[in-house]
Chain A
Amino acid sequence: MTVNHVAVSISSSKLSGAPSSRPSLAWRRARGIAALLVLLGASGARALSQQPTNPQDQLKQLSLEQLGNLEVTTKSKTPEQVWKTAAAIFVITQDDIRRSGAASIPEALRLAPGVEVARISGDEWSIGIRGFGSRLARSVLVLIDGRSVYNTLEAGTYWEVQDTVMQDIDRIEIIRGPGGTIWGPNAVDGVINIITKNSKDTQGTLVTAGGGDEEQGMSSIRYGGSNSDGLSYRVYGKEFNRNSEYHSDGNNYDHWKAIQGGFRMDWAKSQRDTFTLQGDIYDERTGEYVQLINYSAPYVQNVTGYADLSGGNILGRWTRTFSQGKDIQLQVYYDKTNRIELNFGDLRNTFDIDYLQRAYLGPRNHLSWGLGARASHGHELAPTTGLYFLPDSRTDQLYTAFIQDDISLVPDRLTLEVGTKLLHTNYTGVEPEPSARLLWTPSSTQTLWLAATRAVRTPSDVEEDFYLTGYIGTAPNGQPYFARFNANPNFQSEILDGYELGYRRLAGKNVYFDFAGFFNDYHNLFSEDIIGAPFEETDPAPPHFLLPADFGNGLEGTTTGLEIAPEWKITSFWRLHGSYSFLHMSIRPGPDSLDVGTSPIVNGSSPQHQVLAQSSFDLPKQTAFDIDFRYVSALPGISIPAYTTANTRIARTFGHHLELSFVGQNLFQPHHVEFEADNGPDVAIKRSFYGALVWKSKGN
């Protein structure tokens, strides 16, 4: 569990161990130059070999069967839908995920511009979109196939339990900026939409197995089948075992073991009706190092152990498509999440129902509207007196309604989208989330868009029903001294008014770039407030000094930034892509704020500059070679230095069935810190390697 910086934080000095034994400089230089020559030689040979013949002639020689077995490169990143979206959307495709070597969903998110992914330890990440990176990313909404995985107890996403077979992910759509009108509460800084493949596209058997020094063993098996009636299905199982990262104190607590299984069924009953039924079940053990706080001695116990995380979900969706852009969709799901950590537990059951309808009103108006309801019942476990929820059992409710009209002002050229969500939770009255977006496509190779939107992050149990104590020290008279965040039933929604613009351009056939800029204006942001003078508290016993505090709405401010994501297909076999993201955060205490001084930490927990440069090569002999470099600037608020590192992957396909790959991650240093640890010294992420094989049956 994330314990925020309680009142006083002592910044520990960061000592980075420098390796001592180094081969002679001359030998190293010679090796480097040799390697460069080898690489240059490779590209030179390729350039010379291009022949001026009509490539279509060769293809025309092939039989229909051979043609169907030919692997092709597909146009990436610019499908019509993305091209015509008046929002800063980025799509990570299955191909991108595979070629990145990412072994988990959070690692794959590093591919998107404007997203900050910092690995806290082996089994925890800090993720933010356009700022506000934190363990739970409380203002980012994450959905897997339409199911919200946002935890309403603590506000945010537990990344370590969001998983599936990586090969079954169709794409990850990331919308930077507020998306409340469509997606509802907590889609403030952005939305992450993880979409798995339709089961008709995962037919046959797929087996994966791999391992290395950090990813110590990972395997999965999936089988898909279908009948002639349009019904298809898949079932899968996966497991992995992950080693701990580097700990300067030798307390290697972050081992991670997980097992998961699931299924998906899709039935295209007719061209009108399609049904999807899917579900997952998982069980994990994640190592953690937490503080247990008690009012009686010992006041602080640092304990190492495992969190037990398990759960399951089942989702059904029915879509009926009428002619002319009219359709309706009904979705229902149930999600069970059990989280038993060393210092708290949450047993949660969530039911959700959503209805969506779209229709053309005349030739120029495409209207969408929808209704939704969610009930989430949680039961909290509190093994210590220092951290508990009161009441410890309760049902959170959410009701939403939304309407949006896409108005075609000039057909195929200028579109205006206006709409709003109205939402109601048990903590808030009715809150609107309106938006207006203008999309201009002056030609088929350019798109320009503007947006003004409001989104809210609704209060959660962690602000309204939660008591969290930190130990400060012992007074001269021997009495212990604590600070406690008390429940604040008056916590209000955090509000964002976002102003954005974006420009996409296809320059020639081979160069594409996407630019987005934003100015975000935040109000009522989460703060850590001192609400009174220290006093002697006798209940709970034994007597102790207490500094009373609570979570308030005392911060406000702005963020500005831009993201540029270019892509250059140099040749049919070589693609360069990447992104640059700039962020300036100016969050400060509002008038009358009682905040203890957290704004420098908030401002300094997200990188100001991020650069990602990727090269994707398709080599002969069915070999794919990828390398990416990333630079992340310092996080001064939590004393994390800037770093540059690289990942690489080389994979070769043998026939149509077998692929072998070799992945090296975080290559530039033995280990580097990406974020502040919850407790104890910061965890450094190690350089690591793994090999993997993927075997597919035919027709897969």
Chain B
Amino acid sequence: MDLLGLTIKNVSEKLKDGAFSCKELIKECLSIIKINDKKINAFLTLNEDGALKKADEFDNLIKNDKEIFKKKPLLGIPMGVKDLYTTRGIITTAGSKIIKDYNPPFNATVIRRLIDAGVIIVGKTNEDAWGHGSSGENTDYEPTKNPYDLSRVPGGSSSGSGAAVSYGACLVGTGTDTGSSVRLPAGYCNLVGLKPTYGRVSRYGVIAMASSFDSIGHMTKTVYDNAKVLEVTAGVDPYDGTTVPIRVDKYTKVLGQNIKGLKIGLPKEYFVEGLDNKINISIRESLKVFEKLGATIEEITLPHTDFAMAAYYILVPSEVSSNLSRYDGVRYGGPRELFGAEAKRRIMLGSYTLSSGYYDAYYLKAAKVRTLIKQDFENAFKKVDVLIAPTSPTLPFKIGEKVNNPLQMYLSDIFLCPTNLAGIPGLNVPSGFADGLPVGMQIIGSQFSEELLYKVAYLFEQETQHYKIRPQFKNG
């Protein structure tokens, strides 16, 4: 079985046809993980027994119930779960040492929904501890490597999920995107990665990083697969008061519809000095494909872009310092001394920006700049339907390159965090390769425009098919 090249769509069809069983599929996943993961470090915990038991259960269901694939749209699909997601009975560490032995008594809403839809959890994936990072190197465990080049980072913070889907260990990886953490690993690992609109997907049971930003997304090989998963995860959850009561579209239905007359905006502030020219060239090539598909392209402006990172690095650490205050070692986990360096930095930065005498100058000021950034996007979407921009200013960088300079590491997210400030969705789609490394492109829309983003991305993917280029484990 060639799992590395399969998609959710392929696997569902093959399971239906009886080409292989769930058990065979899961055994294959576990065997791929055992062969490769020592090199990649994508997983922190494997759910071997649980996954095989579930596979047996589903194989019986398939035999006895012809309608089962309708009832469970993701039946048998192997999934890697970022370790920030609470999973009942499976150790959940958030990539940290402080809660290294936490065995949760409940499931996150998204996990419950995905399990109900038939996914099989093969394991919990590595990440920058608490979601703090852009490279995966802030994990309190061994950092994840990029399957396309093992000397390079896979992007963070959902580093393990990105690497795992990319090397064929599973077909979907869950992530969280507070400032970049789904789109950047998707960009660096040649995947489709969604940061949904804030409030589109429930945060309940996903360990909180910055509560007014956290967006619950996922990575897959293809646009169809990605849309299929969002159909399951999106929607109102009574346990998360920020989920918005707006209808969940049947996202896969619009795939294939034409995009003639679509207006694409290029934010001129994203095509500036500091953007690797190879990435610029790749994005410009991709834009030609959109023109061929009947879209028109115009330059637009997002005037406050230059201030987005500064606002982000005030508001997010402020919320982080509050959310991480609960780890006191009383109910679960160990003492606060066990926090890693990045968590300590963010707790301290947030404590500083919220502290007496500085609140107005930092937190309140940044919350006002957040309004201006949101308005920038609203103004742009009066003129165009979607925006297209590079996902990262650089190709996947070398492991160790930025670890001693937190500010440089923060700036990796410069094209990604503005959308989190505005609460709008962004979809990373593979734009091609440069120097043998994946180049990510993001398609950005107005709040709750996920259906449009998928429609636009799908036609592009059909034309280009970059997802078929698989990792070679270079420098391994």
Tell me if chain B binds chain A.
Answer: no
